[in-house]
């Protein structure tokens, strides 16, 4: 049995789904590219080589969704909640 303070407990509100979507991140003047690791209705984990994200920073995201010859750009704003070696965790902002 795990205690409430156990680091192994997943405290997320929404279930995550594995996803490999191309995404562009922008935090002026920073612009970089990454690939999603997983996504939920509340946030996303992105693999990227850029390491200079600061927790609490707002980031503009553009997801690239390809369907044959059609390309959809999905735009969101998110806040950095976690920065780790090789990626970043973001929570989507509500409007």
Q: How many angstroms separate the CA atoms of 42 and 32, rounded?
A: 22
Given CATH 3.40.50.1820, say whether it is the number of domain 17-92.
no
Looking at residue 13, what is its pLDDT? 66
Is residue 38 predicted with pLDDT exceeding 70?
yes
Which token pair is 13? 């509100």
pLDDT of the residue at 16: 82
- Tell me what pLDDT residue 50 has: 83
Q: Which of 73, 29, 71, 21 is nearest to 46 (CA)?
A: 21
Residue ranges of the domains in the chain? 17-92
């Amino acid at each position: 049995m795990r205690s409430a303070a156990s680091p192994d407990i997943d405290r997320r509100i929404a279930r995550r789904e594995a996803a490999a979507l191309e995404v562009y991140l922008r935090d002026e003047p920073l612009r970089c590219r990454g690939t999603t690791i997983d996504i939920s209705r509340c946030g996303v984990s992105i693999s990227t080589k850029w390491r200079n994200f600061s927790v609490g920073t707002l980031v503009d995201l553009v997801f690239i969704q390809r369907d044959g010859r059609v390309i959809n750009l999905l735009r969101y704003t998110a806040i950095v909640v976690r920065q780790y070696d090789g990626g970043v965790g973001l929570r989507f902002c509500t409007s």
